[in-house]
Amino acid sequence: MRHRIAVAGGGPGGLTFARVLHRHGYPVTVLERDPAPDSRPPGGTLDLHEGLGQLALDKAGLRAEFEALSRPEGQAMRILDAAGTVLRDWRPSPDERANPEIDRGQLRDLLLDSLDVRWGHEVAQVVPGTEDGVLVRFADGRQETFDLVVGADGAWSRVRPAVSPVTPHYTGVTSVETSLDDIDTRHPDLARLVGDGSVAAYGVNRSIVAQRNSGGHVKVYAKFRAPLDWHADLDLADVEATRSGLLALFDGWAAPVLDLLGHGAAFTHRPFYVLPESHTWAHVRKVTLLGDAAHLMPPLGAGANLAMLDGAELAESIAANPDNVDEAVRAFEEQMWARAGRWAKITTAGLERLVSPDPAEALALFDHVQPS
Ligand SMILES: Cc1cc2nc3c(=O)[nH]c(=O)nc-3n(C[C@H](O)[C@H](O)[C@H](O)COP(=O)(O)OP(=O)(O)OC[C@H]3O[C@@H](n4cnc5c(N)ncnc54)[C@H](O)[C@@H]3O)c2cc1C
């Protein structure tokens, strides 16, 4: 019998799952809330690590395509203090491939190729244990039944309540994001500061990070410790008011670093939420989670990598044991929980140090990087 398998969420985790299972000859229905692939900006660049995201792409048969698109030079890293002193300035050697960067949109297009994605399908609720399988209720009132539903629908997963009552909590660190276009022609000084990869400046409980994407596009993140309602007196839709508010938060920082916040045309507020470090659940037949839905953690360069490897491994586990999908899912869950637990500890400790009352804590994290 052919299994009716659905994955909620067409992010890196859901698409890798669908792609790898598809490669093994099993059809998967991707249920994605977005109305179309280009309905919102795809987000910034991702570094894909050897042994995590890159391994998942191997399993997806996309290694050559990744190498053609990714930017090894994007691994370059410059570290500053709040006074603008360059403390580390690292450029990868030409054959360095540990963490090349790829734009999120490029990665999505690679994974999307040949998949059956149902756009505009927002999952509202998943009800396991019905006679015919797992019932998926959509936000528009439609419903459909599957033999396995995988929740890869991110931080605020609507599948998660079917297996776990846990919800994400705020870390105390928030981020405001802006971006610069055509940086090389419009802001050559900033282009030099950012270099081929990223620049990060660390101060007391704060940092400013800028990261080059392809095509001269740069994302800038102001990160700081603050209560969730820090912007109660600020209209975040008012670009100039937000800019002034941010510049006040970074008062006294070196002008070239602050200039990174001086030109963006919009600001997006992204508080960092996480799930508990050791989030697991009592196995529920025919429903599981992967990626951020299962183990949301601080965004320190691991989440997409883990989501992709989860997706690839769940697909391989099912393909290896198609007559006992439940057993395949259980085996996958044990493996995912162990790996995610290790990474949650690493990224939680990393966030504590990167946005710390003592900037030396953050700077010490880069001790292994060559001095300038
Ligand atoms: C600023 C920033 C930078 C980051 N940089 C990196 C990095 O360099 N490397 C790295 O590994 N990680 C990085 N991360 C983390 C990474 O973005 C996430 O961990 C990763 O995207 C998780 O993938 P996912 O597929 O689990 O979920 P998501 O990427 O969140 O995808 C979920 C998908 O589900 C869809 N969806 C949501 N709700 C529903 C619903 N109800 N029904 C149907 N569809 C739904 C969404 O539209 C989306 O397409 C970063 C995160 C941030 C915020």
CATH of 172-271, one of 3.30.9.30, 3.30.70.1380, 3.40.50.10470, 3.30.1490.100: 3.30.9.30
* Cα gap 200→306, rounded to integer Å: 24
Q: How far is the CA of 310 from the centre of ligand 1 (A)?
A: 13
Q: What pLDDT score was predicted for residue 229?
A: 95
Using the atom order of ligand 1, give the atom closest to the CA of residue 49.
Answer: 11
SS (H, E, C) 281-299: CCCCCCEEECCHHHHCCCC
Q: How far is the CA of 204 from the centre of ligand 1 (A)?
A: 28
Q: What pLDDT score was predicted for residue 364?
A: 87
Q: How far is the CA of 307 from the centre of ligand 1 (A)?
A: 8
Q: What pLDDT score was predicted for residue 363?
A: 86
CB 134 within 8 A of CB 287: yes
Site residues for ligand 1, CB cut-off 6 Å: 8-14, 31-34, 44, 46-47, 122-123, 152-154, 158, 270, 291-293, 299, 301-305, 307
CB 96 within 8 A of CB 75: yes
* Rg of the Cα atoms in the chain: 21
Q: What pLDDT score was predicted for residue 114?
A: 76
pLDDT in tens, 146-175: 999 999 999 999 999 999 999 999 999 999
165 exposure class (CB count in 10 Å sphere: 0-12, 13-18, 19+): exposed
> For 121-264, where are the alpha helices, taking DSSP H only?
183-186, 188-194, 239-249, 255-258
Q: How far is the CA of 215 from the centre of ligand 1 (A)?
A: 22
Q: What is the mean pLDDT of the chain?
A: 95
pLDDT band at 370 (very low <50, low <70, confident <90, very high): low
Higher pLDDT, 247 or 96: 247
Report helix angle 12-23 to 104-112, nearest 10.
Answer: 30
Query: Does position 297 have pLDDT exceeding 90, yes or no?
Result: yes
CA atoms within 13 A on the CB side of 182: 2
Higher pLDDT, 44 or 191: 191
Q: Kind of pairing, strands 268-269 and 173-180?
A: antiparallel
Give the residue from 276, 280, 274, 289 showing the smallest Cα distance to 334: 280
Q: How far is the CA of 114 from the centre of ligand 1 (A)?
A: 21
Using the atom order of ligand 1, give the atom closest to the CA of residue 290.
Answer: 26
Q: How far is the CA of 299 from the centre of ligand 1 (A)?
A: 10
pLDDT in tens, 327-341: 999 999 999 999 999
| Region for 266 from its dihedrals, namely left if φ exceeds 0, alpha if ψ lies in -120 to 50, beta otherwise | beta
Domain 5-73+101-168+276-352 has CATH 3.20.20.410: no
| Residue 40 DSSP class | S
* Cα gap 326→322, rounded to integer Å: 9
Q: List all residues 6 or more positions away from 368 whose beta carbon is below 8 Å from its beta carbon.
A: none
Give the residue from 69, 293, 85, 281 showing the smallest Cα distance to 193: 85
Give the residue, by CA position, lying nearest to ligand 1 atom 50: 299
Q: How far is the CA of 292 from the centre of ligand 1 (A)?
A: 7
Tokens found for residue 107: 């990665």
* CA 283 to centroid of chain Cα atoms: 25
Global confidence as pTM: 0.96
Tokens found for residue 166: 């846990």
Query: Does position 31 have pLDDT exceeding 70, yes or no?
Result: yes
Query: Does position 372 have pLDDT exceeding 80, yes or no?
Result: no
| Region for 205 from its dihedrals, namely left if φ exceeds 0, alpha if ψ lies in -120 to 50, beta otherwise | left
Mean pLDDT in residue range 39-65: 94
Using the atom order of ligand 1, give the atom closest to the CA of residue 53.
Answer: 11
DSSP 291-344: THHHH----SS-HHHHHHHHHHHHHHHHHH-TT-HHHHHHHHHHHHHHHHHHHH
pLDDT in tens, 218-227: 999 999 999 9
Using the atom order of ligand 1, give the atom closest to the CA of residue 219.
Answer: 1
Query: Does position 181 have pLDDT exceeding 80, yes or no?
Result: yes
Give the residue, by CA position, lying nearest to ligand 1 atom 13: 301
CB 45 within 8 A of CB 219: yes
Q: Read off the amino acid at residue 288.
A: T
Q: What pLDDT score was predicted for residue 155?
A: 98
Higher pLDDT, 367 or 209: 209
Report the run of H or E that residue 88 belongs to, with start and end.
Answer: strand 86-90
Q: What pLDDT score was predicted for residue 99?
A: 92
Give the residue, by CA position, lying nearest to ligand 1 atom 35: 9
* Cα gap 15→21, rounded to integer Å: 10
Q: What pLDDT score was predicted for residue 324?
A: 96
Mean pLDDT in residue range 173-186: 97
| Residue 261 DSSP class | G
Tokens found for residue 92: 């990868």
Q: Poorest-confidence range of 125-134, 204-213, 302-311?
A: 125-134
pLDDT band at 43 (very low <50, low <70, confident <90, very high): confident
Mutate to test the pocket of ligand 1, among 33, 160, 290, 355 (most ligand atoms within 8 A of CB): 33
Query: Does position 89 have pLDDT exceeding 90, yes or no?
Result: yes
Using the atom order of ligand 1, give the atom closest to the CA of residue 291.
Answer: 26
Domain boundaries in the chain?
5-73+101-168+276-352, 172-271
Q: What pLDDT score was predicted for residue 367?
A: 79
Give the residue, by CA position, lying nearest to ligand 1 atom 39: 153
> For 137-226, where are the alpha helices, taking DSSP H only?
183-186, 188-194
